[in-house]
């Protein structure tokens, strides 16, 4: 193994100790090494995301076609939202996003939809300070403002990004729930500000909520299913 990797014994020992510590490698009784369960966990997560993408695609296509807006499917990944899917609209207005793009949670509708169930303690763990990174004049600048925004989003069932990440772009997003009632992903519709005027917001929110409800049902969620372990709300 050492010869194949072309590294010294000391470096190999440090590498193995690190992998063992984080669960990627385990030591057998005879002193040999096996792959650890952490790799299995990561593989299972990757497979679940692939399944999530496959299950949601038909509903995303319908949402895109009904709204004529770009649609995203995003998940929580650490302290960020990450896009698993982007479906372009037939509109000539392009949205400069891509699959795999990471976004801050506080400045994106997808991110805020993923945070809708979070309690004060969970928000504090994500944002230990009060100030938030500002991207445009419309970005929520403090954790207190974010909590207010999330309270409103929770009442409505959907989150809103009013040019908070990118100037002149508006976005509406709602969460998708799994069989245990917990949020597993979020879906957004996004367009230029003139494509999402105030008068159109209720219609787009209703379309997005309907699509997310269908996706949630497809994943086994029922509206009367209690959540398993939602974080405490703020």
Taking only the tens place, the pLDDT of each residue in 17-56 is 888 877 778 777 677 777 765 654 555 455 455 578 888 9
pLDDT score at 220: 85
pLDDT score at 231: 43
pLDDT score at 226: 53
Q: Report the candidate in 155, 184, 162 with the shortest Cα–Cα distance to residue 108.
A: 162
This prediction's pTM: 0.75
pLDDT score at 38: 60
Which segments in the chain show pLDDT lower than 70?
1-6, 29, 36-50, 92, 224-234
- Angle at CA of residue 177, ends 213 and 122, nearest 5°: 135
Q: Give all domains of the chain, ordered by start, each with its CATH number.
A: 2-35 (no CATH), 45-218 (3.30.450.40)
Cα separation, 110 vs 114, in Å, equals 6
Cα separation, 212 vs 29, in Å, equals 49
Cα separation, 226 vs 228, in Å, equals 6
Q: Tell how far CA 69 is from the center of its chain.
A: 19
Q: Spell out the alpha helix ranges (H) of the chain.
A: 2-5, 9-21, 37-67, 109-114, 120-126, 143-156, 201-218
Cα separation, 194 vs 197, in Å, equals 6
36 sits in the region (left: phi over 0; alpha: psi -120 to 50; else beta) called beta
pLDDT score at 69: 96
Token pair in block for residue 10: 């000391």
Taking only the tens place, the pLDDT of each residue in 163-190 is 999 999 999 999 999 888 899 999 999 9
């Amino acid at each position: 193994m050492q010869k194949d990797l072309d590294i010294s014994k000391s470096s190999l020992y440090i590498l193995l100790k690190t992998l063992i510590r984080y669960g990627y490698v385990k030591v057998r009784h005879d002193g040999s090494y096996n792959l650890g369960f952490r790799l299995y966990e990561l593989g299972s997560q990757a497979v679940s995301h692939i399944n999530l993408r496959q299950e949601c695609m038909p509903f995303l296509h319908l949402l895109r076609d009904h709204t004529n807006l770009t649609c995203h499917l995003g998940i929580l990944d650490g302290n960020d939202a990450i896009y698993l899917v982007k479906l372009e609209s037939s509109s000539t207005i392009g949205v400069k996003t891509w699959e795999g793009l990471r976004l801050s949670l506080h400045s994106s509708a997808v991110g805020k939809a993923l945070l809708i169930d979070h309690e004060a303690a969970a928000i504090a763990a994500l944002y230990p300070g009060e100030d938030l990174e500002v991207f445009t004049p419309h970005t929520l600048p403090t954790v207190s403002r974010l909590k207010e925004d999330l309270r409103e989003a929770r009442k409505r069932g959907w989150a809103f990004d009013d040019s908070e990440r990118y100037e002149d772009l508006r976005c509406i997003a709602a969460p998708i729930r799994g069989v245990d009632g917990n949020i597993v992903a979020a879906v957004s519709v996004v367009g230029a500000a003139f494509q999402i005027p105030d008068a159109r917001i209720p219609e787009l929110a209703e379309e997005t909520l309907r699509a997310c409800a269908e996706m949630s049902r497809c994943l086994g969620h029922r509206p009367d299913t209690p959540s398993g372990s939602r974080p405490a709300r703020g």
